[in-house]
């Protein structure tokens, strides 16, 4: 991306923001729950060959490395390949192993929803953990409305499309364009979910 030839541009959302927004909000929620002295977290990773999974997972580590969130400790980090069923299986395995945790940080909503299903099936009380994903899918928003999901991140597909068209038109007209156009990710919580229900 850093070495695009003339006449080309890159329009996307910056993955550094997605995992960072998610993990910072989970950090805040854990403090709110009185866990600021020490909290165990488990991380569900997307496909290891996928740049978004790699970056979102690095974001988690980077946030935990900051003084504000250094009380968070990763006790498990494994891939569930963006998949709900694999997320459910992974969480079921962690529960069976007796892994103790205060938060689940998933690289996407599907894995987070799978984790929720496993936690419910095991009878783990909802108030004992914080859980977040990324994408703000319709299913994730429904889960959030039901109280099953605390955090998700909206990736503005419409904004990316509009930004791409806008950039393409400028390129055609030989007008100056930014080589990289980043459409911001946005934090979605129960407090602002109403703004996102009809977005994706």
Q: What is the pLDDT of residue 140?
A: 97
- CATH code for the domain of 102: 3.40.50.2300
pTM of the model: 0.84
The stretch 68-77 carries a mean pLDDT of 98
Query: Is the pLDDT score of 168 beyond 60?
Result: yes
Q: Is residue 75 part of a domain?
A: yes
CB 9 within 8 Å of CB 175: no
Query: Is the pLDDT score of 161 beyond 90?
Result: no
Query: Is the pLDDT score of 28 beyond 90?
Result: yes
Q: Is residue 191 part of a domain?
A: no
Q: Is residue 113 part of a domain?
A: yes
Q: Is residue 173 part of a domain?
A: no
Task: Match 């914080």 to its residue by tokens.
Answer: 130
CA proximity to 82, closest of 41, 40, 129, 49: 49
Q: Is residue 97 part of a domain?
A: yes
CB 92 within 8 Å of CB 122: yes
Q: Is residue 171 part of a domain?
A: no
pLDDT in tens, 185-200: 899 999 999 999 876 5
Q: What is the pLDDT of residue 3?
A: 59
Query: Is the pLDDT score of 13 beyond 60?
Result: no
- How many domains are there within the chain? 1
Q: Is residue 114 part of a domain?
A: yes
Q: How far is CA 29 from CA 4, 34, 66, 103, 150, in A?
A: 40, 9, 16, 9, 9
Full residue range of the structural domain in which residue 130 is found = 14-155
Which residues are registered as beta bridge partners of 153? 187
Q: Is residue 168 part of a domain?
A: no
């Amino acid at each position: 991306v850093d070495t695009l030839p003339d006449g080309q541009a890159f329009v996307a959302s910056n993955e550094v923001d997605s995992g960072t927004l998610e993990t910072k909000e989970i950090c805040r929620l854990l403090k709110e729950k009185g866990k600021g002295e020490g909290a165990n977290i488990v991380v569900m990773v997307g496909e290891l060959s996928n740049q978004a999974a790699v970056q979102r997972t690095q974001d988690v580590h980077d946030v935990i490395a900051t003084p504000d969130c250094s009380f968070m400790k990763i006790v498990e980090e494994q891939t569930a390949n963006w998949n709900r069923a694999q997320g459910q299986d992974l969480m079921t395995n962690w529960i069976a192993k007796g892994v103790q945790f205060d938060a689940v940080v998933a690289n996407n909503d599907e894995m987070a929803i799978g984790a929720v299903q496993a936690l419910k099936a095991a009878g783990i009380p909802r108030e004992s953990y914080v859980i977040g994903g990324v994408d703000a899918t319709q299913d994730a928003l429904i889960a959030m409305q039901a109280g099953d999901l605390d955090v998700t991140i909206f990736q503005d597909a419409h904004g990316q499309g509009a930004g791409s068209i806008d950039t393409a038109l400028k390129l055609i007209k030989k007008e100056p364009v930014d080589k990289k156009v980043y459409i911001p990710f946005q934090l979605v919580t129960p407090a602002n979910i109403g703004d996102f229900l009809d977005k994706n």
